[in-house]
Amino acid sequence: MGSEMQPEVRSTPVSIVIADDHGLVRQGLRSMLANEGDLEVVGEAEDGREVIELCSRLRPQLVLMDVRMP
């Protein structure tokens, strides 16, 4: 039998900012991601200016963003 690769274990969760102009979408994404122990939503934005400000301040590792928002 070959050796199986073990999943990477992170000591700190991946930080995420959610950016969408629809509050219900942001809420749904946050709810889905809340069950993942290795992910942490650190902020939400409802427009492009807000996401730029949040990313500058919070320095997330990942941004989930609607590409068709103001």
Give per-residue pLDDT as tens, 50-65: 999 999 999 999 999 9
User: Contact 44/26 with Cβ under 8 angstroms?
Assistant: yes
Tell me how far apart the terminal alpha carbons of the chain are, to the nearest angstrom. 54
Residue 61 main-chain phi, psi, to 5 deg: -85, -20
Give per-residue pLDDT as tens, 4-48: 777 666 679 999 999 999 999 999 999 999 999 999 999 999 999
* DSSP-H helix ranges across 1-70: 23-34, 48-58
